[in-house]
Amino acid sequence: MRNLLIVISGPSGVGKGTIVERLLSRGNYSLSVSCTTRAPREGETEGKSYFFISKKKFLEMIDEGGFLEFSNHFESYYGTPKAFVEKQLEERDVILEIDVDGGLQVKRSHPEALLIMILPPDRETLRSRLAGRGTEKPETIEKRLARADYEIEKSRLYDYTVINGELNAAVTEIENIIKREKE
Ligand code: ADP
Ligand code: 5GP
């Protein structure tokens, strides 16, 4: 069976992090840790949540071709370190939790990658999950909701769309997609 490069995307607050955590606890996947220039949120750990780096360092890594993909949104850069992903793929499936622009870049360089978009049951649910997480200021929540419309519009370019209504059902649906793709 081949190892898969699995891209999980979706609007901020939809539950990507929660879903990925479940996938990791139930299966043998490697999670790519991204680099970002945004400040850490409370509870986030260097090297686990992200590698928190300066904009200068980020731009140097772009020049060196160190990213599999990168994008710039919410006034910060986010990127997937290339070397880690390529190494891990030799051993097992690798999950990337990245935005749509990044996901579509990955599809261009790795057409065999599996792109899964997570969507909320509706907009109000998304708003209440984002607010309920308690990590964002009201104006940041509005920015993230505006970006959500863009992500939802691009979901048609993804291989699969999964609605995160009941958590376990969404995780099982994703596991079934992965199983099917590996056959
Ligand atoms: P993302 O990584 O997409 O930004 P998170 O995983 O941080 O989203 O989830 C946002 C909030 O929604 C968290 O408080 C999380 O506990 C909650 N959440 C995630 N999935 C569900 C679900 N299926 N039902 C209810 N709440 C959920
Ligand atoms: P957050 O600031 O909430 O952690 O992430 C904001 C957005 O950046 C989310 O949509 C998340 O998936 C995306 N993101 C995180 N890491 C990367 C990455 O390495 N590349 C890209 N393109 N997007 C990323």
Task: Report DSSP letters for the chain, one per residue.
Answer: ----EEEEE--TTSSHHHHHHHHHHHS-EEEPPPEE-SPPPTT--BTTTBEE--HHHHHHHHHTT-EEEEEEETTEEEEEEHHHHHHHHTTSEEEEE--HHHHHHHHHH-TTPEEEEEE-SSHHHHHHHHHHHT-S-HHHHHHHHHHHHHHHHHGGGSSEEEE-SSHHHHHHHHHHHHHHHH-
Nearest atom, ligand 1, residue 14 CA: 3
Q: Which of 29-33, 112-116, 150-154 has the lowest mean pLDDT?
A: 150-154
User: For atom 17 of ligand 2, which residue has the closest CA?
Assistant: 98
The pLDDT assigned to 138 comes to: 87
Q: Which atom of ligand 2 is nearest to the CA of 32?
A: 19
**Domains in the chain: boundaries:** 5-182
- Ligand 2 touching residue 34 (CB < 6 A): yes
Is the minimum distance from the CB of 151 to ligand 2 under 6 angstroms?
Answer: no
Q: State the pLDDT at residue 74.
A: 77
Q: Write out pLDDT tens, residues 6-55.
A: 999 999 999 999 999 999 999 999 999 999 999 998 899 999 999 999 99
Q: What is the pLDDT of residue 42?
A: 87
Give the CATH class of 5-182.
alpha beta
Q: What pLDDT sits at residue 108?
A: 96
Give residue 137's pLDDT. Answer: 85
Place 73 in a pLDDT band, splitting at 50, 70 and 90.
confident
